[in-house]
């Protein structure tokens, strides 16, 4: 019968355990010096090695080897592996959670080990015990016989009573870092003689969220049905690389403000049984990818994706405004956050779509109607605008110019002279007003400053081209506000501080993006 990889490859010795060095070190040392505790609590995320390590400890306590224990080879180690060793007792608290079960356990604790050195009780999912059962267990935990060791394991340590916590040595299992996961999976692949590309492993690791079991499980399913080679494409296909296709389509619908179509489309995706919360996270990640390709010449370094997929993302990024990307990330992040505690995450997602479809229009209207200026707008973006892959539909046709509004001439306008302005003061005033008008404007405030104010112009030096782009887009608003505070209309003259900047490193870009977006953007 076929056995899943994660069952087949359970570490037999401590050195095979991935990513839990801090725990392995302690346990190895305790076993070597016979200094083990009588009760342990293993906690942490699912699939990170709690049960595995509990068995290793049980073996270590009974191993017959003179060398490093457990050896994985002696009669006791083998018997424990096969589950036939009488003195290692595994109890699944999920199905034996009553007080009677614990009473039975207490009875059996009285008898010394049959064949081994130590009797080891592994109580998995211990948080499932009833209150009564906990109480019954406490007595035994307090004063177990010399020959007994308890190992409690749980993913939900917060559900345990303090009285239990205080009687155990607690060890926290961490999510396994991607690099460690990749290495571990590569070792397994070479053992079973399957050629899985590094890229493929990278994508699998990125989708395992630190769980070795999840990683192996994805790997397993990518391997099955293929006889020799597994590439990034296969993994993407398995993970539903359509995923990207879906996100591209959905993002496009939102961009075009096709609310109804977007919601119907979402319905189609979710009816496949996809997890809504996961979907939100993946969509945010799609927006992040859009952001990265806008910023970076070689986004491959931060996006785990095939070159083809990156190209598709690049095409979409080219037709999106930075602000759309910005808003997408912010909106979805806050919804994903709320969805964690909601019983109706789907409604939140639909609401996010509605808001994304609406938001763009409203904000645009605000800046166009209120601050429209007959003066022509300088081109804000590089001239090359790639076409979207699929849609030949009109790229958001520029609105016909609004009829010029009656000119707004502030009261104090004529009175003030061109010289003698405090540039910093004006800049601050502009943004105190501006803040309430448009969300992303604080970016310009921090990334630029007025260097001079002349009779007809004022000069703003910006730190980089990203801020410049933003400032260019808010030109009318800024000019309007400067006019308000200086008393006369002046055109904005935008210059890059220091005349252009060297290419930024990925870290700087990420830090900047984090700043702008208010979320953590990580670069690997």
Ligand X SMILES: Nc1ncnc2c1ncn2[C@@H]1O[C@H](COP(=O)(O)OP(=O)(O)OP(=O)(O)O)[C@@H](O)[C@H]1O
Report the nearest approach of Mg ion to the CB of residue 151 (Å). 11
* Residue count (the chain): 524
Sign of the Cα pseudo-torsion (12, 15, 16, 19, in order): positive
**Bridge partners, residue 313, by sequence:** none
Q: Least distance from C-beta 521 to Zn ion, angstroms?
A: 47
DSSP run (H or E) holding 453: strand 448-453
Closer residue to ligand X (CB): 125 or 323: 125
Single residue of 16, 26, 74, 130 touching Zn ion by CB under 5 A: 74
Quickly count: other Cβ atoms within 10 Å of residue 71's Cβ. 18
67 or 400, CB closer to Zn ion?
67
Does residue 443 contact residue 513 with C-beta atoms inside 8 Å?
no
Residue nearest to ligand X (CB): 49
Query: Which of these segments, 18-26, 31-39, 99-107, 379-387, binds ligand X (CB under 6 A)?
Result: 18-26
* Candidates 64-72, 235-243, 303-311, 499-507; binding stretch for Zn ion (CB under 5 A): 64-72
Task: Check residue 9 for interaction with ligand X (CB under 6 A).
Answer: yes
Helix H segments across 224-344?
Answer: 232-238, 242-255, 259-270, 276-295, 307-319, 322-339
483-493 residues labelled b (16+ CB within 10 A) or e (exposed)? bbbbbbbbebe
In this complex, which beta carbon is closest to ligand X, that of residue 21 or of residue 425?
Answer: 21
CA distance 117 to 61: 7
What token pair was written down for 258? Answer: 């096709």
Q: Which residues within the stretch 4-63 sit at the binding site for Mg ion (CB under 5 A)?
A: 50-51
Q: Six-digit token pair at 454?
A: 């002349």
Which segments of 25-124 are extended strands (E)?
39-44, 88-92, 119-124
Q: Which CB, 81 or 429, lies closer to Mg ion?
A: 81
Check residue 71 for interaction with Zn ion (CB under 5 A): yes
Shortest approach of Zn ion to residue 8 CB, angstroms?
20
CA distance 359 to 333: 15
What are the φ/ψ torsions at residue 92 (nearest 5 degrees)? -95, 105
Candidates 63, 182, 336, 516: give the one binding Zn ion (CB under 5 A).
63
Instruction: Please tell me whether residue 304 binds Mg ion under the rule CB under 5 A.
Output: no
Of the listed pieces 9-17, 223-231, 452-460, 475-483, which binds ligand X according to CB under 6 A? 9-17
Contact flags string 179-218 toward ligand X, x per CB under 6 A: ---------------------------------xx--x--
Which of the choices Zn ion, Mg ion, ligand X, none does residue 49 contact, using the CB cut-off of 5 to 8 A by kind? Answer: ligand X
Q: Which positions touch ligand X (CB under 6 A)?
A: 6-7, 9-11, 17-20, 46-52, 155, 176, 212-213, 216
Binding site for Mg ion (CB under 5 A): 50-51
């Amino acid at each position: 019968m076929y056995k899943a990889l994660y069952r087949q490859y359970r570490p037999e010795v401590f050195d095979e355990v991935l990513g839990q060095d801090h725990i392995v070190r302690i346990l190895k040392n305790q076993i070597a010096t016979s200094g083990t505790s009588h009760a342990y609590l293993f906690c942490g995320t699912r699939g990170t090695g709690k049960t595995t390590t509990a068995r290793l400890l049980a073996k270590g306590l009974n191993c017959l080897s003179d060398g490093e224990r457990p050896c994985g080879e002696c009669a006791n180690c083998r018997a424990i592996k096969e589950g036939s060793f009488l003195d290692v007792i595994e109890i699944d608290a999920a199905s034996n959670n009553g007080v009677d079960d614990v009473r039975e356990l207490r009875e059996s604790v009285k008898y010394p080990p049959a064949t081994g050195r130590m009797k080891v009780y592994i109580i998995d999912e211990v948080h499932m015990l009833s209150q009564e059962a906990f109480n019954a267990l406490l007595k035994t935990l307090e004063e177990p016989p010399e020959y007994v060791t308890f190992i409690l394991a749980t993913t939900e340590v917060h559900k345990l009573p303090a009285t239990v916590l205080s009687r155990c040595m607690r060890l926290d299992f961490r999510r396994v870092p991607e690099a460690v996961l990749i290495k571990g999976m590569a070792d397994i692949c070479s053992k079973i003689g399957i050629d899985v590309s590094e890229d493929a492993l990278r994508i699998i690791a990125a989708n395992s969220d630190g769980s070795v079991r999840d990683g192996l499980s994805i790997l397993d399913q990518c391997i099955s049905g293929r006889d020799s080679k597994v590439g990034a494409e296969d993994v993407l296909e398995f993970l539903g690389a359509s995923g990207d296709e879906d996100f591209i389509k959905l993002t496009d619908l939102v961009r075009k403000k096709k609310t109804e179509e977007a919601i119907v489309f979402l319905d189609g995706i979710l009816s496949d049984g996809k997890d809504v919360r996961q979907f939100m996270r993946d969509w945010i990640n799609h927006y992040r990818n859009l952001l990265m390709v806008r910023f970076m010449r070689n986004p491959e370094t931060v996006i785990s994706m095939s070159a083809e997929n990156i190209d598709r993302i690049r095409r979409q990024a080219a037709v999106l405004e930075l602000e759309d990307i910005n808003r997408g990330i912010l909106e979805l992040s806050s919804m994903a956050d709320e969805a964690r505690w909601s019983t109706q995450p789907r409604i939140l997602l639909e609401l996010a779509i509605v808001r994304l479809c609406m938001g763009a229009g409203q904000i645009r209207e605000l800046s166009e109607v209120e601050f429209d200026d007959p003066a022509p707008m300088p081109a804000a973006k590089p001239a090359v605008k790639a076409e979207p892959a699929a849609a030949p539909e009109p790229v958001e046709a520029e609105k016909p110019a609004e009829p010029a509004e009656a000119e707004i001439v502030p009261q104090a306008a004529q009175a003030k002279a061109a010289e003698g302005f405090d540039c910093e003061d004006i800049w601050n005033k502009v943004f105190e007003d501006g803040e309430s008008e448009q969300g992303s404007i604080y970016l310009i405030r921090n990334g630029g400053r007025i260097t001079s104010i002349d009779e007809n112009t004022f000069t703003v030096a910006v730190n980089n081209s990203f801020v410049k782009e933003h400032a260019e887009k808010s030109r009318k608003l800024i000019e309007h506000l400067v006019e308000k505070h200086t008393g006369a209309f002046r055109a904005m003259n935008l210059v890059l501080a220091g005349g252009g900047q060297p290419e930024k490193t990925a870290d700087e870009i990420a830090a900047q993006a984090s700043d702008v977006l208010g979320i953590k953007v990580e670069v690997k």
